[in-house]
Structure 1
Amino acid sequence: MDQHEHPLEGGNVSVGVVRVAGTVRKRATDATPAVGDLLRHLEAAGFAGAPRFHGVDGRGRQILDYVDGPLADTLAPMSLQELARVGRLIRDLHDATSTYVPAGDAMWSVAIAPDREEIICHHDLAPWNLVCGEAGWVFIDWDGAGPGSRLWDLGYAAHGFVPLRAGGDPGVDGMRLRALVEGYGLAAPDRRQLPWLIERHVRGMHDLLLDGHRTGRQPWARLYAEGHADHWLGAADYIAAHLHLWREALAEDPEPEPDGANGR
């Protein structure tokens, strides 16, 4: 078995990430024990959309399954059916984490404060973290996992997978958002609440990068310097400008009127 280290590229924070045979090795963080425990729970729960965690190596690095396949952001835009599949995968993830009880001393590294804390979320469900392999679709990069809400996590996913960004076509984007949400199986009250949480989470990402620029905190300062903040601000403004359209797109189909309701 090849035990040589092969650097892995891609993503915004990939320095020091290597492949060794069928595993990925990456720097451990203060959150690694909690994240590892979460991944073990997902494995035990039968959720196949996350890599398995194998502890740390002799150099103190995380050991995770290497997941073969292209990242979603390198492929053609998803079809409505594929968006529904992503929604279903996220729902399965949230259902699995809803039974997870973290240790009392668990440490997490959540970058943006969520609207509320009801489950443990991934917090970066995006095309650049979804491996679309022949054996299945798997979300990677769990270092930022932590407490949050279903809608907070799903709202962030909507930004990347629809995608919702400046210059989009609201009519087309509304249909694509609906496909994602229907795949998730979101209930009517949550459908009404989701659009403004999408905007809030996306704007929170811009504010995080801006704060990194002001304080020098990495990797946010570097990402700001590379121009990422402009994307997030434009996306937030686009989402905010069409909140009513997103709500209309997500509204459940009206009940058919009974015979005679219109005087006929």
Structure 2
Amino acid sequence: MLTFVPGSVVWPDRFFLVEPAERLARVARLIREFHDAVQDWDTAAPGSRLWDVAYAMQGFVPLSAHPGRQRTDAGERLRIFADAYGLDEAERHQLVPLLGRRTRAMHDFLQDQTTLGKRCSPSAPLRQRVHCAGHVADSRPLIASPTPISAGAQSLNGSGLRRRAHRP
């Protein structure tokens, strides 16, 4: 059962809600707890946890082509999210290629919905139209030139792949 919870959403213009980094980590932990209890959180359907994590990272880190949403600390925020969610080294390696694929999949889904006259059509509820238009506009440049995604994802590879050691 779904229940309305009053509050503000982060995307597209309230990223201050996941500042400082501990708030971003809290989001990752909440998603992990939900996964442990239910399995999936973004489409309420069976799916890969890493697929969900890739979508969450895109939205909460954020990974964006929009100049106002790009982060110079995206790599560090990806690590924070991955650490708080509890991704192991193998999962981090699997996640890197999913970041771009997940962006493409959502873009294509929303474009298809527009073509079919559903979700993004003028007759759709305002919330759906705003989400669709914003996501398509934000993801189109990422698909054409995935620099923000690949730059951030590089920090999950190599020396950035391993969890940060916690100091007592």
The two structures have a TM-score, normalised by structure 2, of 0.74
Aligned to 1:208: 109
Question: Cα offset for 1:80?
Answer: 1.0
TM-score scaled to structure 1, two decimals?
0.49
Amino acid paired to 1:219: R
Q: Aligned equivalents of 1:254 and 1:163: distance in 2?
A: 20
Q: For residues 91-106 of structure 1, what are the structure 2 equivalents within 5 Å?
A: 91-97=32-38
2:147 is paired with a residue of what secondary structure? Answer: helix
1: CA distance between counterparts of 2:139 and 2:26? 25
Residue 89 of structure 2 is matched in structure 1 by 188
2:48 aligned to 149, 160, 166, which one? 149
In structure 1, the residue matched to 2:157 is 247
CA 221–207 in structure 1, closer or farther in 2 if over 3 Å, else same: farther
Q: 1:227 to 1:86 in 2, by over 3 A?
A: closer
Alignment of 1:9-158 (within 5 A): 36=1, 53=2, 64=3, 66-73=4-11, 74=14, 76-78=16-18, 79-97=20-38, 120-123=39-42, 144-158=43-57
Comparing 77-86 with 228-237, greater Cα deviation is found at 228-237
Q: Does the C-alpha gap of structure 1 residues 75 and 154 become closer, same or farther in structure 2, counting only changes over 3 Å?
A: closer
Q: Distance in 2 between matches of 1:172 and 1:234?
A: 20
Read off the aligned partner of 1:220 and give its amino acid letter.
C
Partner residue, 1:138:
none
Take 2:134 and 2:5, find their aligned partners in 1: how far apart are those partners? 30
SS in 2 for 1:207: helix
Structure whose CA Rg is larger: 1
Q: Which has the higher contact order (CA 8 A, sep 6+)?
A: 2
* 1:156-177 Cα shifts (integer Å, max 9, x gaps): 00011001001424x5100011
Alpha carbons of structure 1 residues 201 and 219: separation in structure 2 relative to 1, 3 Å: same
Cα distance, 1:254 vs structure 2 = 9.3
CA spacing shift, 1:96–1:207, aligned 2, 3 Å:
same
Supply the AA of the counterpart residue of 1:76: F
Mapped pair 1:234 → 2:153: no
Q: Structure 1 residue 220 and structure 2 residue 123: aligned?
A: no
**How far apart are residue 239 of structure 1 and its match?**
4.4
Identity %: 34
2:62 corresponding residue in structure 1: 163
Listed as ranges, the gaps of 5+ residues in structure 1 are 1-35, 37-52, 54-63, 98-119, 124-143, 256-264
